[in-house]
């Protein structure tokens, strides 16, 4: 994605917002490695942290469906923090 003019974490935020619009403003992408497809995120609450961990495979699939060239392979939830 960095080759397409998108840099991390902006690339990760774009992928998340496209995949699951209701997460916009509630989850912050802090790092996206386009080479490995690894996306690090911070949710704003512990509840959302848990939900992201449980639904990571679905979020990855949705991200790759909505942004076909994103190639997200792993989602690492770093824990909640105030956004």
Return the SS3 of 2: helix
Q: Is residue 63 part of a domain?
A: yes
pLDDT in tens, the chain (83 residues): 444 433 455 666 777 777 777 887 888 888 888 889 998 988 999 988 998 899 899 889 988 888 778 888 999 999 877 65
Q: Is residue 57 part of a domain?
A: yes
Q: Is residue 65 part of a domain?
A: yes
pTM: 0.74
The pLDDT of residue 18 is 72
The pLDDT of residue 4 is 41
- Contact yes or no for 39/29 (Cβ under 8 A): yes
Q: Is residue 69 part of a domain?
A: yes
Q: Is residue 60 part of a domain?
A: yes
DSSP type of residue 71: -
Q: Is residue 83 part of a domain?
A: no
Helix (H) or strand (E) holding 3: none
Q: Is residue 40 part of a domain?
A: yes
* Total structural domains within the chain: 1
Domain that holds residue 16: 2-77
- Contact yes or no for 76/33 (Cβ under 8 A): no
């Amino acid at each position: 994605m960095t080759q397409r003019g998108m840099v991390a974490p902006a690339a990760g935020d774009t992928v998340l917002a496209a995949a699951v619009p209701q997460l916009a403003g509630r989850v912050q992408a802090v790092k996206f490695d386009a080479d490995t497809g690894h996306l690090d995120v911070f949710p704003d609450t512990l509840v959302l942290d848990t939900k992201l961990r449980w639904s990571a495979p679905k979020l990855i699939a949705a991200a790759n469906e909505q942004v076909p060239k994103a190639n997200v392979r792993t989602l690492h939830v770093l824990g909640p923090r105030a956004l």
